[in-house]
């Protein structure tokens, strides 16, 4: 019996050009450190154009994903192929058109279900943390980005994902 996976999503406006945002999204494919919890190694198993299959070791829990990067559409999709607890996908998407102020919306959509059929934890906070990390990375890549607060430049750092939000740690989704 397959149930519809709940959609957990978050969107944020990013002050960076499209190339900086797409570069930040692509960098996450091979270096998800700080995004996928407790990542120890990432190994690209196979490449085929804009797609690859990767193996991510998260302190002994290994997951395998198919990743498709579509720069023209502004999207990176991660599909779980092999994970001990979950199945589904994660999509990182950039809005096609910028806002009048030059910012662009970037969103993270998580649609996962548990393999054992139990109810899935709400992953909205995980999507929020992921999209913030993308924002900070993209803005740091854009040479024209300047964050100003009280008349001085401010250096942003990405927040840590709080593992306590997962009951007993058993629902940790090893987020992208």
Question: How many domains does the chain divide into?
Answer: 1
| Confidence (pLDDT) at 34 | 54
Residue 1 counted as domain residue: no
pTM of the model: 0.77
Lowest mean pLDDT among 9-18, 87-96, 148-157: 148-157
Q: Is residue 174 part of a domain?
A: no
In a domain, 126, yes or no: yes
The answer to the question of residue 175 being in a domain is no
Domain that holds residue 47: 7-165
The answer to whether residue 156 scores a pLDDT higher than 50 is no
What's the burial of 58, exposed, middle or buried (CB within 10 Å: 0-12/13-18/19+)?
middle
Question: Is residue 2 a part of any domain in this protein?
Answer: no
Model confidence over 127-148: pLDDT tens digits?
998 899 899 999 988 877 655 4
The CATH number of the domain where 125 resides is what? 3.30.530.20
Residues near 140 by beta carbon (within 8 Å), at least 6 away in sequence: 156
């Amino acid at each position: 019996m397959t149930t519809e996976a709940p959609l957990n999503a978050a969107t944020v406006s990013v002050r960076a050009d499209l190339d900086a945002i797409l570069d930040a999204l692509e960098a996450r494919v091979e270096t998800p450190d700080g995004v996928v919890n407790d990542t120890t190694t990432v190994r690209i198993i196979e490449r085929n154009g804009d797609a690859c299959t990767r193996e991510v070791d998260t302190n002994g829990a290994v997951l395998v994903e198919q990743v498709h990067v579509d720069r023209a559409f502004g999207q990176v999709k991660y599909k779980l192929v092999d994970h001990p607890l979950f199945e589904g996908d994660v999509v990182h998407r950039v809005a096609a058109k910028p806002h009048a102020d030059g910012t662009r919306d970037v969103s993270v959509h998580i649609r996962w279900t548990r393999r054992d059929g139990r109810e899935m934890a709400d992953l909205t906070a995980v999507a929020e943390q992921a999209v913030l990390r993308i924002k900070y990375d993209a803005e740091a890549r854009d040479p024209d980005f300047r964050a100003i607060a009280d008349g001085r430049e401010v250096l942003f750092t990405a927040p840590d994902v709080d593992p306590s939000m997962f009951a007993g740690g058993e629902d940790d989704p090893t987020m992208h």
